[in-house]
């Protein structure tokens, strides 16, 4: 089954404790992206990647890191999480970076930083 998977689905952590949210897609997609969803703000892009070893900042990159060492994986790293990073996070992928392509979303990771 073609899908985007994220782990963990739920995470409660404390301020300053480094964490990684994994994202993997099995569709051989070139483009991958991370979003955060907050009430009243919709989805905001954190980072995106056009292909292996090619990443760039989205609209709200502060406090996050990413890497793209393999085509299928695009982990999101919070080196020192803070309470304002409490949010619902989505990973997405699409066949190519072209702006007309549909994005396929993972099920989400709900992060709480205490």
Q: Which residues of 77-89 are buried (b: 16+ CB within 10 A; e: fewer)?
A: ebeebeeebbbeb
**Which of residues 27 and 43 has its CB atom nearest to another protein in the complex?**
43
Q: Which residue number, 11 or 80, has a Cβ lying nearer to another protein? A: 11
**Min CB(78)–another protein separation in Å:** 20
Shortest Å, Cβ 85 to another protein? 19
Tell the smallest beta-carbon distance from residue 82 to another protein (Å): 23
Q: Which residue, 27 or 79, has its beta carbon nearer to another protein?
A: 27
The footprint of another protein (CB under 8 A) covers 4, 31, 33, 35, 40-45, 48, 50, 90, 92, 94, 96-108
- Rounded CA-CA distance 106/26 in Å is 12
Paired residues of 47 in beta bridges: 34, 57
Question: Which SS3 state, helix, strand or coil, does residue 86 take?
Answer: coil
Give the integer Cα–Cα distance in Å for 95 and 102.
Answer: 8
């Amino acid at each position: 089954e073609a899908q985007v998977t994220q782990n963990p689905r739920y995470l409660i952590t404390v301020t300053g404790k480094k964490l990684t949210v994994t994202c993997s897609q099995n569709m051989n997609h070139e483009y991958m992206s991370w979003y955060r969803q907050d009430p009243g703000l919709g989805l905001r892009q954190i980072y995106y990647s056009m292909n292996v070893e090619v990443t760039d900042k989205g609209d709200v990159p502060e406090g996050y890191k990413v890497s793209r060492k393999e085509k299928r994986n695009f982990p999101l790293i919070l080196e020192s999480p803070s309470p304002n990073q409490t949010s619902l996070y989505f990973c997405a992928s699409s066949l190519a970076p072209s702006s007309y392509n549909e994005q396929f979303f993972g099920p989400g990771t709900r992060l709480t930083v205490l």
